[in-house]
Structure 1
Amino acid sequence: MTARSAPDRLLSVLAAFDHEHPALCLTDISRRAGLTLTTAHRLVAALTGWGALERDPDGVYHVGLRLWEIAALAPRGLALRQIALPYLEDLYEATHENVQLAVRDGSEVVYIEWISGRSAVGVHIRVGARWPLHATGVGLALLAHADTAFQEEYCAGPLTSFTPYTITDPARLRRVLAEVRRSGVAVSDRQVTDDALSVAADVRGPGGAVVAAVSVVVPQQAAQVPVLAPAVRLAARGISRALGWQPERTP
């Protein structure tokens, strides 16, 4: 077995933390990172000293604020969120439903902002959550505008199913993506949960490339897509303009 480099071992310690495991003791870190306890102890001490990890009075480790400071510099993270937030708030005020902003990372969508009301339909979403592209409205909006080679590779599957309504047929997914490009909105109907529908639109950067997607998620039984679509498109266009997009320059 090839020995892992020091950077690989450091990254494996950080990768031990996720949304299901936000707090870990040293033994858990060692196990999840695949490291000996001695090596884990040394690396955790270094990361804690730098501020990447923090240790509470019970000896449990959490992700440190130093990492948050670094992550805030990501152009597709906090910076994009800050520009988009006024438009997301406007969309929320118009609907009082779940409003989301997401970006694509490989074959997944990553949520970087989420606004929800007390009476909004329940969703399996939080900031930082990941979902396959084909199962969500924002994911479909992003996939529809990815390059053709990536789309073909993704459509070839496997396409994970979450409900009986999740798109798992490659030919059907291709048709849906074509409709997204034609209409300017993506609709995900009960694909993640059987009681929710989302309507999404793409967000463009200065050069016209799609950099994010915005969506609203509503109860499926009360969904009025023709009413929601213009509001979502308006929010997406507002964010795009704030990012420097000019329609006449879009390819």
Structure 2
Amino acid sequence: MANSPSGDSTIDRLVRILETFSTDRTVQTAAEIGRRAGLPSSTAHRIVDDLVEAGVLERDEHHRIRLGMRLWELALRGSRALRLRQAALPFMERVQARLREHTQLAVLEQDEALFLERLSSPTSGANITRVAGRLPLHASSSGLVLLAYADADVVERVFAQPLQAVSAETITDAAVLRRTLADVRRRGHVVAPGSIERVSTGVAVPVRDERGRVIAALSVVLPRDSGAEAAAIEELTAASAGITRALSRRRD
């Protein structure tokens, strides 16, 4: 793709524009998009207009911009994440129905835990996770599972950066984190009290594909004093095995 005078390719600029949207920032003006993407105003308006015309972005009656349905449609076509989510949902629904707490599915994406699905009930406790939201790998039960089974280069990149605290109990000591990851691999699950919020405990297990590779983490978020950790591990382990079987059948 052609480069701009600054050396950025067209693709670079498109991606930067799309990345200005988040779960908390779903609507913006073209000027706000340009500022957050680090683009000149005229460039940002021109690219936004092109993306609106293509349906990738949409403009509302107040001329504000949001992600378009066309982008959602394209993202789902043949998506690996969609296949995994479809296989996982019946088993997640069973876990959520039995535990009545937040039940989540996450994958490793660009050295973070990306959440593909979350099921909740009106009585579920505190939880900051959102669908399409991300958390640092060291700072959640799902992330700890994904990091424990990640390739060595991913692990070393995580350890090369400061381990930022999300809560007072987030693991920020590298030696403690390495011991925790070894424990996850030995036990096949993790119980992480207070790593995101003091009042909650995350419990997570790995999800494997039909070849035995860890491709996701399945987790629940429990009230910290619930005493349901053992039941959660049992339910999650059974659900994870069911997801693996479902993925194998979808290959057949």
Q: TM-score range by the shorter chain?
A: over 0.9
Deviation at 1:149, TM superposition (A): 4.1
> Quick one: distance in 1 between partners of 2:6 and 2:67?
28
Q: What aligned pairs does 1:62-211 form with structure 2 within 5 A after superposition?
A: 62-73=66-77, 75-211=79-215
User: Cα gap change, 1:35/1:121 in structure 2, threshold over 3 Å: closer, same or farther?
Assistant: same
Q: Deviation of residue 223 (structure 1)?
A: 3.1
Residue pair 2:23, 2:130 contacting (<8 A) in 1 also? no
AA of the residue aligned to 2:154? F
**Separation (CA, whole Å) in 2 of partners of 1:7 and 1:162:** 33
Aligned equivalent of 1:223: 227
SS in 2 for 1:22: coil
Structure 2 distance, partners of 1:23, 1:187, is 37
- Please report how far the alpha carbon of residue 156 of structure 1 lies from its aligned counterpart in structure 2 after TM superposition: 4.4
Is the aligned partner of 1:242 residue 2:251?
Answer: no
CA distance in 2, matches of 1:160, 1:177: 17
For 1:224 and 1:97, how far apart are their aligned partners in 2? 10
Distance 1:44 1:153, change over 3 A: closer
Aligned to 2:8: 4
* Alignment-derived partner of residue 63 in structure 2: 59
Dislocated runs of 4+, deviation >6 Å: none
232, 237, 241: which one aligns with 2:236: 232
Whether the aligned pair in 2 keeps the contact of 1:109 and 1:138 (CA below 8 Å) is yes
Residue matched to 1:249: none
Cα RMSD after superposing both structures: 1.6
The answer (yes or no) to whether the contact 1:156–1:170 under 8 Å persists in 2 is no
Is 1:155–1:173's contact at 8 Å kept on the other side of the alignment?
no
Query: Normalising to structure 1: TM-score of the pair?
Result: 0.92
Deviates more, 1:71-80 or 1:115-124: 71-80
User: How many residues are treated as equivalent by the alignment?
Assistant: 245
Structure 2 residue ranges without an equivalent (≥5)? none
**Distance apart, 1:157 and its partner CA:** 3.8
**How far did residue 205 of structure 1 move?**
1.1
CA-to-aligned-CA distance 1:62-91 (integer Å, 9 cap, x gap): 100011011113634222111110000000
* CA deviations over 1:40-78 (Å, ceiling 9, x no partner): 121111101111000111111110001101111363422
Please give the TM-score of this superposition, normalised by the length of structure 2.
0.92
Structure 1 unaligned regions, length at least 5:
246-251
Please report how far the alpha carbon of residue 218 of structure 1 lies from its aligned counterpart in structure 2 after TM superposition.
0.6
Match of 2:36 in 1: 32
Pairwise CA distance, 1:29: 1.4
